[in-house]
């Protein structure tokens, strides 16, 4: 009798899980056993700036998934080692002890994860273990290339090609796998991963079913209004599903099926859907991560921007982190991140532009801070977003595009509703003043003066990028 092992990573779900489905399908036909394993790597997580709140969410998702696996007759094991480099020896020993004959896992694409998996495969090569890498995190099994077989460097032509290929080649979402035996006794003890603290469970319940329900509600009730509402932080105009995508509770294939179904039912063209286009950016950044390993090593996509001399000012950095910059929309956004572990996408662009273009701080420090606090921290998307804002990335914002936080606030939070909620010092300030309160109002409210002069900071940033382009 064969014994199949499913190695769970950032894919904490039972549905549309190619590795789990493949192992169960193979086992069900021959009466084999299936075991699932998750390996905690606390030192590696710290090195990767994993948010403690995200680890708490992951703990609860694992607890819930363990119960689902037990219903399917699948045993669950939690292992631990400090770093990825320790996994080959740990997993080899486990495989030998348990009599494992086949290992199944879903591919991950950042460089450390690729190297980890290659090391595990090498360690198992002499163990008579069949290894089955599966594709479960992208719509297309293979990265999208242009007509010359080269990686795309601009999003729009990549997106057109990606949409066209999805019509023909997108992998279907898989159902829950078949049971492999009688249900196992449930373990009610909660799983607690190292480094976990707490998170806003009231906002994002640790439930695969809840995530699927939220997806269905969004595509039916909010999909068509997304384009008009997505930039308004005071309302729930976005899906907030990024939290579940980042933890692998939902897949982009499930979302694709839901979007296509909802659009066809309403007569809307999914190929031109604004929300689906945003999902395209997620896949675009994963494509870049595959083709350009330097992005996993803290390097700028545009090599010439490595010559920029970023400012190093710990006090300014701390005030930005604390939401005490004196720019209300920036402070409201940063406080949202602190309180919830999430930030509205428009605000991510505003705060990142403020950090890189106006404070002129290194985008890598901002990228790390976001990962340390975001529940939906996805390495490829976070890296791509920060490099876009800093004008160092692929198809990034032009270097001369610098968000004016006051104008952004007036445009996307015109009555100050979002600011009032997150910056209570300004709750009673009139709408005409709330975006840039006069000094007397700031003093009366106990709200700080701006930590920079916008015009001067903008001019300095433009001069730095212009000098770079001229050399």
Which residues have a catalytic role annotated? 278, 281, 310, 345, 363, 386
Strands 75-80 and 33-40, by their bridges, are parallel
Residue 379 makes CB contacts below 8 A (sequence gap 6+) with: 48, 110, 289, 296, 371
Nearest CA to 99 out of 81, 75, 65 is that of 75
Supply the Cα-derived Rg of the chain in whole angstroms: 24
Q: How far is CA 416 from the centre of its chain?
A: 28
Rounded Cα gap, residues 314 and 467, in angstroms:
25
Q: What is the DSSP letter of 42?
A: H
Cβ–Cβ < 8 Å for 392, 377: no
Structure tokens at 183: 């249900």
- What is the length of the chain? 471
What sign has the CA pseudo-torsion 201, 350, 368, 84?
positive
User: Which residue matches tokens 């000012």?
Assistant: 313
Rounded Cα gap, residues 96 and 390, in angstroms:
48
User: Which residue matches tokens 């994002």?
Assistant: 204
Q: What is the DSSP string of 370-398?
A: HHHH-TT--HHHHHHHHHHHHT-STTPPP
Q: What is the DSSP string of 92-107?
A: HHHHHHHT--EEEEE-
Nearest CA to 377 out of 94, 113, 83, 51 is that of 51
Structure tokens at 191: 């799983």
Phi, psi of 114 (to 5 degrees): -60, -45
- What H or E segment, with its residue span, contains residue 226? helix 226-229
Structure tokens at 359: 């404070």
Strands 75-80 and 102-106, by their bridges, are unpaired
């Amino acid at each position: 009798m064969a014994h199949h092992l499913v190695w769970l990573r950032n894919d904490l779900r039972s549905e549309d899980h190619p590795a789990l489905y493949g192992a169960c399908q193979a086992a069900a036909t021959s009466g084999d056993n299936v075991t699932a394993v998750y390996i905690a790597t606390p030192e590696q997580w710290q090195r990767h700036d994993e948010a403690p709140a995200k680890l708490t969410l992951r703990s609860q998702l694992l607890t819930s998934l363990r119960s689902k696996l037990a219903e399917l007759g699948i045993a669950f094991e939690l292992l631990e080692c400090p770093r990825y480099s320790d996994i080959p020896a740990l997993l080899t020993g486990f495989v030998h002890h348990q009599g494992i004959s086949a290992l199944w896992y879903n591919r991950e694409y950042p460089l450390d994860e690729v190297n980890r998996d290659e090391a595990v495969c090498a360690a198992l090569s002499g163990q008579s273990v069949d290894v089955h890498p599966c594709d479960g995190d992208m719509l297309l099994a293979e990265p999208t290339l242009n007509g010359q077989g080269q990686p795309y460097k601009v999003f729009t032509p990549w997106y057109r090609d990606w949409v066209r290929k999805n019509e023909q080649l997108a992998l279907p979402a898989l159902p829950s796998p078949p049971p492999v035996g009688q249900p196992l006794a449930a373990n009610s003890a909660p799983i607690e991963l190292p480094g976990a603290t707490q998170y806003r469970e009231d906002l994002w319940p640790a439930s695969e079913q809840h995530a699927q329900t939220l997806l269905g509600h969004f595509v039916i009730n909010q999909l068509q209004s997304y384009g008009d509402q997505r930039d308004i932080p005071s309302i729930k105009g976005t899906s907030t599903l990024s939290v579940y995508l980042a933890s692998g509770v939902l897949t982009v294939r499930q979302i694709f099926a839901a979007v296509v179904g909802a659009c066809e039912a309403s007569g809307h063209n999914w190929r031109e859907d604004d929300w689906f286009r945003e999902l395209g950016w997620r896949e675009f950044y994963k494509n870049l991560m595959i083709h350009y390993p330097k992005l996993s090593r803290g390097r700028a996509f545009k090599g010439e921007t490595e010559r920029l001399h970023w400012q190093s000012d710990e006090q300014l950095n701390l005030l930005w982190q604390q939401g005490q910059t004196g720019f209300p929309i920036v402070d409201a956004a940063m406080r949202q991140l602190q309180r919830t572990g999430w930030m509205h996408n428009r605000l991510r662009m505003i705060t990142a532009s403020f950090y890189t273009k106006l404070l002129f701080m290194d985008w890598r420090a901002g990228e790390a801070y976001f990962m340390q606090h975001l529940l939906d921290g996805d390495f490829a998307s976070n890296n791509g977003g920060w490099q876009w804002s800093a004008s160092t990335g692929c198809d990034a914002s032009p270097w001369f595009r610098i968000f004016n936080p006051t104008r952004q606030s007036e445009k996307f939070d015109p009555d100050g509703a979002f600011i009032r909620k997150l910056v209570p010092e300004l709750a009673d300030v009139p709408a005409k003043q709330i975006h840039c309160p006069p000094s007397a109002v700031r003093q009366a409210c106990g709200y700080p003066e701006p930590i920079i002069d916008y015009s001067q900071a903008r001019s300095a940033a433009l001069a730095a990028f212009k000098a770079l382009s001229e050399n």
